[in-house]
Chains A and B, each alone.
Chain A
Amino acid sequence: GQQLNQSPQSMFIQEGEDVSMNCTSSSIFNTWLWYKQDPGEGPVLLIALYKAGELTSNGRLTAQFGITRKDSFLNISASIPSDVGIYFCAGQPGGSNCKLTFGKGTLLTVNP
């Protein structure tokens, strides 16, 4: 089956620093999604990417859909304490197959 490798597994940064995390896939996806999960809550969608090469921003967050369609990255600029949480990438093959495959997550800790 499809596998997603998400890295890093965890990050410890100082407030104000920029953060980058990425996902690579063994197969092609037509949609890449980035979610954030706060403790005790369900994942919340941050950014959706639908085209290879697409670069999309949401406030301090920027994500890109790799041109090979096998990778994506998420950048967070000028981190703040509320950025703490687990970030997940997810890929969707597209067409009639809408199942999401999730990465194992990146745990982000921001020190004030």
Chain B
Amino acid sequence: DADVTQTPRNRITKTGKRIMLECSQTKGHDRMYWYRQDPGLGLRLIYYSFDVKDINKGEISDGYSVSRQAQAKFSLSLESAIPNQTALYFCATSGTGGTGTEAFFGQGTRLTVV
């Protein structure tokens, strides 16, 4: 089983619809992240959470919200999806301190907004 699991893997939704992407992890990490990937733009940070009570905006948070339901769960919501939110979304986790802060990624959710 994957350490970082994203659901769904693929989703097509209509403009204006609300959609939630879910992420769960078994790595025991406190830190979780949501990234968006677009061709030629690399990975851009949407939101991140250092622990259950800590949520922070990333560089492209407009149009998105998140919820950290537990240490192992971090969900991303699009309240009213628009076509330019069509992208590949990745959840990631990382440990804290020392030489263990590298991020581990889920397999991604391909979202298409029509």
Which residues does A use to contact B, with CB under 8 Å? 1, 6, 31, 33, 35, 40-45, 48, 50, 88, 90, 92, 94, 98-100, 102-105
Total contacts A-B at CB 8 Å: 56
User: With A1-B59, A45-B102, A48-B99 known to touch, is A98 a contact of B40 (CB < 8 Å)?
Assistant: no
Given A41, A88, A94, which contacts B108 in the complex, CB threshold below 8 Å?
A41
* Docked pose: A59 CA to B99 CA in angstroms: 20
Q: Which of B12-20, B42-50, B61-69, B75-83 contacts A (4 or more CB under 8 A)?
A: B42-50
25 A-B residue pairings within 8 Å (CB atoms):
A1-B59, A6-B42, A31-B101, A33-B103, A41-B108, A42-B90, A42-B92, A42-B105, A42-B106, A42-B107, A42-B108, A45-B104, A50-B99, A94-B101, A98-B50, A99-B45, A99-B58, A100-B33, A100-B43, A100-B45, A102-B44, A103-B42, A104-B40, A104-B42, A105-B42
